[in-house]
């Protein structure tokens, strides 16, 4: 009934295990930390985003503070020595109201706006309305018609310059110094001419032609200009003598 007593087969264990146990005499060596390598800390690779320092000027041969111009040494903008006799108490602007050249028209418009803002007397002389202003400006500046650019500004009888000079003086605040002491003017268009500074000639009704029986035909009107216009007696100034 009972099975015969037999020995149970014994399992053979692998004696080539990788586990090893140190003896107690090595316990101090096992508890110490491994030394941290110092080669990676002391040796640092340069970054690829490293920028070279900006070169500085060599100041060994000169003193920068001494050779650079100081503000008190800078001379203000001086206008050329050209003047108009009889215009010491007002501003005279030679310009054009024609839009043939857009840049010239815009320059004339901006300069007139800047000068009008000071509320002083401005004598505006439109070369497109009266050709006598062309000859007048040529004699004053001593230039030919081909070299005549607009606008041209005179303040207190002295020539100041064109659009660029007026803008520069206005931005720096020097233009206000030029117009100080000039007579003030009323703001708004003239009630007589509406701000155009010209009126139709009453003698020829703006045709610049007159019929006379003595001459036996038409002749040019001697009162108005080539466009049949006369300067407004209410807001205009008399012409200058260019003799």
Residue 195: the pLDDT is 86
Same domain, 95 and 175: yes
The reply to whether 169 and 211 lie within a common domain is no
- Contact status, residue 228 vs residue 204, Cβ threshold 8 Å: yes
Planar angle of CA 71, 72, 75, nearest 5 degrees: 90
In a domain, 47, yes or no: no
**Does residue 1 form part of some domain?**
no
Residue 78 lies in a domain: no
What is the tens place of the pLDDT at every residue in 24-73? 455 455 455 555 554 444 454 544 444 455 555 555 544 444 454 454 45
Do both 204 and 131 map to the same domain? no
How buried is 82 (Cβ within 10 angstroms: 0-12 exposed, 13-18 middle, 19+ buried)? middle
In a domain, 55, yes or no: no
Instruction: Verify that 174 and 110 share a domain, yes or no.
Output: yes
Structural domain for 103, as ranges: 91-179
State the DSSP string of 107-128.
Answer: HHHHHHHHHHTTTB-EEEEETT
Number of domains in the chain: 2
Same domain, 206 and 127: no
**Strand boundaries in 133-184, DSSP class E:** 152-155, 158-161
Cβ neighbours, 10 Å, residue 208: 19
Q: If you average pLDDT over residues 222-227, what whole number do you get?
A: 93
Residue 107 lies in a domain: yes
In a domain, 14, yes or no: no
Q: What is the CATH number of the domain that holds 172?
A: 3.40.30.10
Using left for φ > 0, alpha for ψ between -120 and 50, and beta otherwise, residue 216 falls in left
For the stretch 90-137, pLDDT in tens is: 999 999 999 999 999 999 999 999 999 999 999 999 999 999 999 999
pLDDT band at 189 (very low <50, low <70, confident <90, very high): confident
> Is residue 104 domain-shared with residue 132, that is, in the same domain?
yes
Together in a domain, 174 and 209: no
* 209 and 169 fall within a common domain: no
Q: Residue 216 falls within a domain, yes or no?
A: yes
148 and 221 part of one domain: no
Provide the 8-state DSSP code for 22: -
Question: How many angstroms separate the CA atoms of 229 and 133, rounded?
Answer: 13
Distance (Å, whole) CA 123 – CA 86: 12
Domain co-membership, 172 together with 95: yes
Taking alpha carbons only, the member of 225, 81, 226 closest to residue 142 is 81
Q: Is residue 83 part of a domain?
A: no
């Amino acid at each position: 009934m009972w099975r015969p007593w037999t020995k149970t087969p014994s399992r053979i264990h692998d004696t080539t295990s990788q586990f090893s146990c140190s003896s107690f005499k090595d316990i101090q060596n096992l508890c110490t930390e491994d030394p941290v390598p110092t080669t990676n800390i002391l040796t640092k690779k340069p970054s690829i985003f490293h920028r070279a320092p900006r070169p500085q000027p060599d100041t060994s041969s000169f003193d920068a503070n001494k050779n650079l111009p100081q503000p008190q040494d800078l001379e203000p903008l001086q206008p050329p020595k050209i003047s108009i006799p009889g215009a010491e108490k007002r501003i005279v602007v030679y310009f054009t109201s024609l839009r043939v050249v857009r840049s010239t028209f815009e320059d004339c418009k901006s300069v007139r706006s800047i000068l009008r803002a000071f509320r002083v007397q401005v004598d505006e002389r439109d070369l497109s309305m009266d050709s006598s202003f062309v000859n007048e400006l040529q004699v004053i500046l001593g230039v030919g018609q081909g070299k005549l650019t607009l606008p041209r500004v005179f303040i207190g009888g002295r020539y100041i310059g064109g659009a660029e000079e007026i803008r520069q003086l206005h931005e720096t605040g020097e233009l206000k110094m030029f117009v100080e002491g000039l007579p003030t003017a009323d703001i708004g268009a003239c009630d007589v001419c509406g701000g155009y500074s010209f009126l139709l000639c009453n003698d020829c009704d703006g045709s610049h032609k007159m019929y006379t029986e003595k001459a036996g035909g038409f002749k040019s009107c001697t009162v108005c200009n080539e466009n049949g216009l006369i300067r407004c007696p209410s807001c205009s100034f008399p012409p200058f003598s260019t003799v």
